[in-house]
Amino acid sequence: MNVELEPVIGLEIHVQLKTRTKMFCSCALSFGEEPNTRTCPICLGLPGTLPVTNAQAVHFGLMMAMAFDCEIAPKSIFHRKNYFYPDLAKGYQISQYDIPLCSNGRLGDVRIHRIHLEEDAAKLVHEGASGRIHDSDSSVVDYNRGGTPLAEMVTEPDLRSAEQARDWLNLLRVTLRQLGVSDVNMEEGSLRCDANVSVRPRGSSELGTKTELKNMNSFRFVMQGINAEIARQTALVQAGEPVVQETLHFDPVTGRLSSLRSKEEAHDYRYFPEPDLVPVAPTEAMLERARTAIPELPAAREERYGRDFSLGGDTARLLAYEPQFGDYFEATTQEATAGVSPAVLANWVTELRTRIGASSDPAESKVTPDALAVLAALVTERRINASAGRQVLDTLVAEGGDVAAIVEREGLAAMDSDEELAGIVKAALEANADAAAKVRDGNAKAMGPIVGYVMRETKGRADGGEVGRLVREQLGI
Amino acid sequence: MTATELVGLTAAEAIGRIRAGELEPAELWSAYQQRAQADDLNAYTWVADADAPAADPAAPLAGVPVAVKDLFCTEGIPSQAGSRILENYCPPYTATAIQNIYDAGAPLLAKTNQDEFAMGSSNENSAYGPVLNPWDRARVPGGSSGGSAAAVAAGLAPWATGTDTGGSIRQPAALCGIVGFKPTYGAISRYGMIAFASSLDQAGTFTRDVTDAALLLEAMVGKDPYDSTCLGLPEPVQPPTATDLRGVRLGVPEELSGEGIEPGVLAAFERTLDIARDLGATVESTHLPHAAHGLSAYYLIAPAECSSNLARFDGVRYGMRVDDGGGLLDMYTGTRAAGFGDEVKRRIMLGTYALSSGYYDAYYGRAQKVRTKISEDFESAFSAFDFLVTPTSPGVAFELGAKSDDPLAMYFNDFCTVPMSLAGIPALSIPNGTAQAPGGSSTELPTGFQIAGPAFSENKLLNAAYALETALAFDSSPAREAS
Ligand SMILES: [Zn+2]
């Protein structure tokens, strides 16, 4: 049988929150410090210690709830998730369970089922051949990460392809970064993504058996992993074989998925309400504080750039997702003279981005928004040509300065006398009579040597379009 | 003063003399230190060997030393919770409640023996051996804070801290003839108290009399940024002054004052009710319809929480580790099998079962519903009564080993005290006489009278207890003189 299959994908995302201290104690968060230097009796789970909920983590959770249009529980509670593992100092993880902080939200065209707060586990290092705990010679535990605040987000199964999953994950990443709640770095683990994947006949409304994909720690691996799993499940279904519900581990070296099923996975977590904590009951003041802390988010900014500046989709998204370039672009529109379109300014901002790199902040470059606006105006008004404009930008990036002065110093001004240019074109036609004849006979490609002559004579200052116009005029075509 | 006279003083009397310049704190320290070092009740697991620490007579507790239950973490000093798994474990920090006592000017004299992780009613579940009752050394002091109760009763300490989860302060106080006070849940920080059942655990006091209870309590209570379930008390604890009980309405819950209570204990209870009437109180019988289910609910909720609280004792970071190279699971099971005693294992298994998927609703879920019902019972009772009174313990101190093989008989010790723990309300036990043990024994042993009030009624409760105590004039000296 060869029915057309449709992938159905949902994501589970762990976001490390960028609070000053850990979820339940006052240890500073760790960024690669010496092992076990960011610990205290509480996050080491010493006898007698108690957790206290980090108010900033709750604040960040409320900001996320509002950014994603979630419902906020009037009283959410923490549970204990019990299991034995050396990365868990207390023998249980404190996590929200049946009443999460946020539920029923949306980002873009993906519904968010829930967002809850919890604490991260410590880091285990297995010393031995496989890097897995069961056949390692010994294991050491670094508790620095233990207790780092996490927001776990679960989406509804609204995604239909690996590419869509990647794009949505990117929107989530830039949105969380704009919110300022996380570093959202997949390679460093501050953004972690698991995927639930199933396939079903296209048009069906039932869900197929899903598998859970873990350990995809980059955007590329998320794509690879999901695509590999879609292919695997598709082959199974086409062959009439069942998909088994299981957890699969993505191997970044081979790009393959392997089953994680083992005894250690068969847990009964014995959830029960954490008696050491009181419920999280956000007050009106807390909600208001979260509301006012939310900046304009990338999706809204993209929409605004399309609406107010008529920017094309890709440009609008680029400037919205990299808000430092978006901010800079908006600064150039403030400086620009009439007649210079925002689209032209946006193009010059992307030219600048190419030169300084996407991760740089243009506001800290040597190119002021004013200088870029002046440059865009000179090109628009044909007072210098586009290639001269790029040359000016190179100089600005390297040493800054005044655009007019650079144009003057480097002799880049377009020729301001039409008669002078017309004279040079006339000389070019005489010097390239053969080519001129071909052009007159309709061979536009023969224009090359004529234009080349003019550019040599004018040292590149002539406007290419104007040269073409004069050639055709003088040849009477 | 002779050492005997010194240890005959209550803490408040000692503070009075220190303030008046009639007594040096160092003198008091030495007298108690000598007695503590000579402890032959096994009440202590650690005794300070240092000379008298500097004391400030102007401080609230004026340098009167304190014994602390081993369940409280004390920085650099063994805090073993009565368990082998924490043998010689010295925490890097001090429990808030104990730090508060230090800050009020009382130095640490000794750590007291207890049932392992506070699980027990006889102190026979300690990995460091049973504690003997100073009234009769063949008998138990009660538990789980048996060491604290025996030490204060025997004059090995002026006063002591304890913890009460289902009766672990009130029952041993009753069996040892002293005052035991469990305040409202959340009055005293739990930070640094090694957890047994978090939603029930509450620190409290062991003292010779009610005035001392008020003093020590006031030092311990208070909000704590390290315990979000701790609220402190709405007003300071005042020294009690009431001389009568005029206008006080006492309710006697029939469910907790009849069946299952030893006749001698009941007789003492009735005599105390008569004294209360003489002092002007009205006494009426009433009902706590769900109280009889308190024990069943308690023995699901407490083990469930303990099964989780004790998961951290895994041999990885501190305490005992049994590792014979067989891998992680072997280390876990080896450590916990060797480190925990039978009763702790029993409760971990009970609690693990009660929380298991498929059983949660039938056990833990239902027990929580019973707990809510019991709280509602108390709430409606307190609309008609100022206090509810019961015998503290169904019986007097029993012989060592008498109930060791019968967990259910042992659990019944908490019958009268568990409902107040489930409701989180304050309850206090005062000695109200003596009774003979059943079975033809001629030994007179102390009995306890429990007074419970609404949440945060500590000051009123202390006043009522003080008026009764004065009228009862119980003589606690035999226990000190025997030691
Ligand atoms: Zn910490």
The DSSP code sequence of B263-292 is: HHHHHHHHHHHHHHHHTT-EEEEE--TTGG
Whether residues A125 and A270 fall in one domain: yes
Residue A173 falls inside a structural domain = no
- Give yes or no: residues A358 and A435 share one domain: no
In a domain, A120, yes or no: yes
* Identified catalytic residue from B168, B421, B429, B483: B168
Nearest CA in chain A to B73: A48
* A448 and A395 together in one domain: no
A50 CB within 8 Å of a chain B CB: yes
pLDDT tens per residue across span B374-432:
999 999 999 999 999 999 999 999 999 999 889 888 999 999 999 999 999 999 999 99
The closest alpha carbon to B390, from B248, B256, B250, belongs to B256
List the domain range (segments joined by +) for residue A125.
18-147+262-292
Do residues B386 and B459 touch, judged by C-beta distance below 8 A?
no
**Model-level ipTM above the cut of 0.90:** yes
Q: What is the CA radius of gyration of chain B?
A: 21
Domain membership of residue A143 (yes or no) is: yes
Interface test with B, best of A140, A270, A271, A278 (most B CBs within 10 A): A270
Residue where a domain terminates, one of A272, A292, A312: A292
* Strand A5-16, strand B249-253: pairing: unpaired
Phi, psi of B371 (to 5 degrees): -60, -45
Residues A138 and A282 placed together within one structural domain of the fold: yes
| Boundaries of every domain in chain B | 3-255+266-287+376-481, 293-368
Task: Quickly count: other Cβ atoms within 10 Å of residue A260's Cβ.
Answer: 15
Inter-chain touch A272–B229, beta carbons under 8 Å: no
Do residue A41 and residue A114 come from a single domain? Answer: yes
One domain, residues A318 and A405: yes
Tell me: do A271 and A355 sit in the same domain.
no
Fold assignment, B3-255+266-287+376-481: Amidase signature (AS) enzymes (3.90.1300)
Distance (angstroms) between ligand 1 centre and the Cα of B119 equals 29
Whether B356 is catalytic is no
Q: Which of A123-137, A223-237, A423-437 shows the highest mean pLDDT? A: A223-237
Number of domain units in chain A: 3
| Higher pLDDT pick, A30 / B446 | B446
Residue A372: partners with Cβ closer than 8 Å, 6 or more residues away: A332, A335, A345, A348, A349, A352, A393, A396
CATH number at residue A433: 1.10.10
Together in a domain, A266 and A360: no
Burial label for B144, CB within 10 Å (0-12, 13-18, 19+), is: buried
Q: How far apart are CA A190 and CA B84, in angstroms?
A: 40
Say if residue A28 is in the same domain as residue A134. Answer: yes
Marked catalytic residue, from B79, B83, B144, B393: B144
What tens digit of pLDDT does each residue of A340-368 get? 999 999 999 999 999 999 989 999 999 99
Per-residue pLDDT at A475 exceeds 90:
no
Other beta carbons within 10 angstroms of residue B202's beta carbon come to: 24
Q: In this structure, are A424 and A323 located in the same domain? A: no
The pLDDT of residue A263: 45
In a domain, A250, yes or no: no
CA–CA distance, B445 with A148 (Å, rounded to integer) = 55
**pLDDT tens digits for A216-238?**
989 999 999 999 999 999 999 99
Ligand 1 centroid – CA A123 distance (Å): 14
Whether A365 and A435 map to the same domain: the answer is: no
Q: In this predicted model, what pLDDT tens digit does every residue of B285-344 receive, in sequence order?
A: 999 999 999 999 999 999 999 999 999 999 988 999 999 888 889 999 999 999 999 999
Domain end among A374, A389, A409? A409
In a domain? residue A138: yes
What SS3 state is found at A54? Answer: coil
Residue A86 is nearest to which of B198, B328, B364, comparing CB atoms?
B328
Average pLDDT, chain A: 91
Q: Are residues A431 and A303 in the same domain?
A: no
